């Protein structure tokens, strides 16, 4: 009997098809067992919820953060620590409040300084777009975390200040203050498409998130172009240095303000020192712009940029 190449190819294809069918049946059987196990475990968990522990669903904001953290693992972040003398801006704020009785948010002042630096260094306002391209946005949208008091519990939500480079410190301050009056939902939670995503299976939701974060335009809508976290109120006078695991190209964390000895005019004097960290994606931004942006940011903060003199 003569064995031809066509017969060998046919037998090989039949073997592959057989293996695929067997594998598919095995997956079905194991999946049914897994489903029964999960259902049984979920029933037991629901029975014990009120006795030993509390089971809660993750909010949409946390799901988005998890997707960004997975993205951040692939980012080539440059992490830097800075110490900035904020004695002058704090004194200007105190002077203005004493003269007018009106308050100025130090958080809004820092956000304005970030927006100015990013406007002057457009590379910081960019995202990777595919493998060979980057996309640079003209508007500087700064995302900040706002905490709401709901039933005595702090609930965080992301609020994005759009076109922050065009707004004054007072406009930014009033905008954030007004945002706190509304429902403590992030822009992500208010999106109508979220109602549809909630109804989908978990694996499909994760797939949608992975696809969404690859599009810089979607990320700009949901998390802005720059991310800022302020821990000054939380840490008080304890300077806790932390780095952002965020997938944004540029992110800042203000860690705290402490009294420290500082050299001013060749004399050591006590000054209010702001501790912060900055994380920048080196795959998007070169070292030169990072250094210049850092020096410019220090200059703006120490001089009290746009604060009433």
Q: What is the pLDDT along the chain (309 residues), one digit of tens a residue?
A: 444 444 445 555 666 666 666 666 655 555 555 455 444 554 454 444 556 777 776 666 666 666 666 666 666 788 888 899 999 999 999 999 999 999 999 999 999 999 999 999 999 999 888 788 889 999 999 998 877 666 666 667 778 999 999 999 999 999 988 887 765 554 545 555 555 666 666 667 667 767 777 788 888 887 889 989 887 765 556 666 666 666 678 989 888 888 889 998 889 999 999 999 888 888 888 888 889 999 999 999 999 999 998
**pLDDT given for residue 47 in this prediction:** 47
* C-alpha closest to that of 306 among 113, 35, 134, 173: 113
Calculate the dihedral angle through the C-alpha atoms of 74, 162, 297, 86, rounding to the nearest 10 degrees.
Answer: -120
**pLDDT given for residue 27 in this prediction:** 57
**pLDDT given for residue 1 in this prediction:** 45
Q: Is the pTM for the entire model greater than 0.85?
A: no
Go through 134-144 and write b for each residue having 16 or more CB atoms within 10 A of its CB, e for each that does not.
ebebeebbbbb
Q: Which residues contact 9 (CB under 8 A, 6 or more apart)?
A: none
């Amino acid at each position: 009997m003569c064995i031809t190449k066509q017969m060998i190819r046919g037998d090989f294809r039949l073997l592959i098809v057989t293996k695929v069918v067997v594998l598919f049946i095995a997956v079905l059987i194991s999946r049914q067992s897994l489903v029964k196990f999960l259902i049984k475990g979920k029933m037991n968990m629901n029975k014990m919820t009120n006795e030993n522990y509390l089971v809660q669903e993750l909010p949409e904001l946390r799901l988005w953060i998890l997707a960004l953290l997975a993205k951040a693992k692939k980012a080539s972040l440059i992490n830097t620590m800075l110490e900035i003398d904020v004695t002058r801006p704090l004194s200007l704020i105190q002077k203005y409040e004493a003269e007018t009785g009106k308050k100025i948010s130090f958080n809004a002042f820092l956000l304005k300084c970030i927006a100015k630096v990013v406007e002057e260094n457009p590379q910081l306002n960019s995202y990777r777009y595919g493998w060979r391209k980057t996309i640079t946005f003209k508007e500087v949208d700064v995302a900040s975390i706002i905490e709401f008091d709901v039933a005595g519990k702090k609930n965080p939500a992301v609020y994005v200040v759009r076109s922050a480079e065009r707004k004054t410190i007072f406009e930014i301050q009033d905008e954030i203050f007004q945002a706190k009056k509304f429902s403590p939902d992030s822009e992500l939670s208010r999106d109508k498409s979220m109602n549809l995503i909630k109804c989908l299976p978990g694996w499909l939701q994760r797939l949608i998130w992975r696809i969404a974060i690859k599009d810089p335009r979607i990320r700009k809508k949901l998390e802005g172009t720059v991310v800022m976290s302020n821990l000054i109120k939380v840490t008080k006078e304890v300077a806790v240095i932390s780095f952002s695991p965020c997938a944004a190209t540029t992110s800042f964390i203000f860690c705290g303000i402490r009294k420290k000895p500082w050299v001013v005019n060749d004399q050591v004097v006590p000054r209010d020192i702001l501790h912060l960290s900055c994380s920048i994606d080196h795959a998007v931004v070169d070292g030169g712009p990072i250094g210049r942006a850092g020096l410019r940011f220090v200059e703006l903060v120490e001089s009290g940029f746009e604060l009433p003199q």
